[in-house]
Structure 1
């Protein structure tokens, strides 16, 4: 059963709360009609928008909100503030260590995005720290993070490099399990293009004061390219990602959006920027940048894909149901890129191949032969009635 089928009003309220300039009267009207508050809280959690919902309802002095719902959101807020402060402290430790070792890095998403876009560390919901480093410093970064207790799950680094390296990111978990860092050296897997490459960011970073330390992060056009690419990679499946792009569009209409689109198009991902503009318009009623309106209207692909993704979003937070690793193909607007991505995925072994058929390291190359057959078997099994 579709998740929002019986919760259209609750979903609409979340959309109103995520707007950069919420319509208070519309929110009051919805609250006055009586909502399923348990469903509202559940959807807010799944869409990652509880900070915005809490902020919006508190600004209305909690009018029309039941005590249980208010208590739940205020409790979340207290815990989230503490969690955000703790993660800011962790980010400071990492930044100081990397600076001392002369490793270039940038924080994105997590505390850095919350502060730069929403104005406060706890104004956006997140659960880990994301940092990007040059590819040739990944091993050095891993070693430094290990001194802070962050390690790759498992005991075999060769396994991670062989079966997870194509993702161009590793998740390192602290020994106590209370914190995690996603270490990136790219913004997408090797199989798909992306509107922004790490090489483009190093000369155009802003420094944010987080926990009394200067944290480098993305800004302006690069932040726009990142958010458009990330949203498209994730099929704009959560209101949080739609809200991120909407807030950036609303606050940075001064950016050269035509140039931003051109940069993305040079990477084969121009539609990601157009799609972001179309979706924030259709979901949150935020007008896209004027420089993009003509291109959005002229693109049959953007219009069709946008309508599909908005329908999916309204049915519930999107979860991958496609064959493994095919879910970010919306980044591929050129047929040749889609073909290349398909071939890379078909012939690139992953951890699931090893799990399905554990082989000793000396035979790992055999996965290049077995993987296509395993994928074909999965596809055939999924097609059976």
Structure 2
């Protein structure tokens, strides 16, 4: 028997209810018609929610296949159509670059893995541009990093994090929170990783297991290397949890992939995701992916993530909220040593390395400069 949505979600605004229903019907077929819901929708607010949760392309596709589309205010409908076309065109360019780069990496025998973005869209929708993404995430082994950067330079990509790249090339110690650099070519941005995340200690698998899980997904008749199903799901769960599941796009991605993943890794981030998704959508079987007792997930963490998801302004930028977000992520670590390491990473803010260059014997000052520079940016943003 299919599980009913919780009363917590039934109380949200009608705009968010329509967004949730549209996503849930995405891989399964067109939405049904609900005229009573249409009459209560503030379409301008709905449009803002689509942009805020980065699900405009997928939801608009579902609305156009139903009678909901015709009742949207014509001006809003035109704006949504233009936004969808603009996003789709930009993402098609990014996919073309991904296919070209992936092919060249294979030719040059540089092992890589494509993360998130178009590969997740392909897995969920069978379409690499239906899921919105801002950049292409590529993972290479650290020993192949310089070769990968040079190869991307040959494709016209320019390094955006030049001070950090110079630090890497110098061979000096780098901040432990540094795990990727950015490269850009026109509208296409690449995040080139040598570690999955700054929260790598949360990953329930080793590097060897990750690379051994390597598989191929077909995009437009071309092969792209991606992590195994279990590894990809765990990575996405940890990525979403590191952002407190602030966007429904991330929660929906993991929820959908979890339905097709057998024997997922038992990690805290996945358990939290399962419980959160259960408050917004139903699983195919009606069962949780991780049916552990309720005590396995702290109630304050669940409430906090829901608060972040329902915040219409996106990332609440208040210092108190940022501290609570950091506390949430810290709670995912099992040991005191891991929690301490996470806090130290917060203090070693990577931007400090970009703005101030210190000799090796003075680098302990970055623990002070990191928070100071972060506070300075907060103050400047408020002016």
The answer to whether TM tops 0.5 is yes
Segments of structure 2 that go 5 or more residues without pairing to the other structure are 1-10, 379-383
1:1-385 matched pairs, under 5 angstroms: 8-20=13-25, 21=28, 24-25=31-32, 28-31=35-38, 33-61=39-67, 62-153=69-160, 155-156=162-163, 157-159=165-167, 166-174=177-185, 177-189=186-198, 192-250=201-259, 252=260, 255-257=262-264, 260-261=265-266, 270-286=267-283, 290=287, 292-301=289-298, 303-316=299-312, 317-319=314-316, 321=319, 322=322, 326=326, 328-346=329-347, 348=348, 350-352=350-352, 355=355, 358-359=356-357, 363=359, 365-372=361-368, 375=371
Shift of 1:283: 2.3
Residues 130-151 of structure 1 show CA distances to partners (whole Å, capped at 9, x for unaligned) of 1111121111111111111112
Q: How many angstroms apart in 1 are the aligned matches of 2:353 and 2:232?
A: 35
Segments of structure 1 that go 5 or more residues without pairing to the other structure are 1-5, 262-269
Map of 2:6 onto structure 1 = none
Deviation larger for 289-298 or 224-233 = 289-298
TM-score calculated relative to the size of structure 2: 0.81
Q: How many angstroms apart in 1 are the aligned matches of 2:268 and 2:32?
A: 35
Contact 1:112 1:121 in 2 (8 A): yes
Residues 269-314 of structure 1 show CA distances to partners (whole Å, capped at 9, x for unaligned) of x21110010111112344798475541523142x331122112211
Residues 309-360 of structure 1 show CA distances to partners (whole Å, capped at 9, x for unaligned) of 11221123335542599474354243332122223443x36323653xx34x
Contact 2:258 2:289 in 1 (8 A): no
Contact 1:205 1:219 in 2 (8 A): yes
CA RMSD across the alignment: 3.3
Residues 14-70 of structure 1 show CA distances to partners (whole Å, capped at 9, x for unaligned) of 122222558944754321x23221111111111101022102211214242222222
Question: Equivalent residue of 2:212, what SS?
Answer: coil
Contact 1:114 1:122 in 2 (8 A): yes
Aligned residue-pair number: 356
Q: How many angstroms apart in 1 are the aligned matches of 2:324 and 2:100?
A: 35
Q: How many angstroms apart in 2 are the aligned matches of 1:256 and 1:293?
A: 10
Q: How many angstroms apart in 2 are the aligned matches of 1:370 and 1:242?
A: 34
TM-score calculated relative to the size of structure 1: 0.81
Shift of 1:216: 1.0
Q: How many angstroms apart in 1 are the aligned matches of 2:102 and 2:373?
A: 46
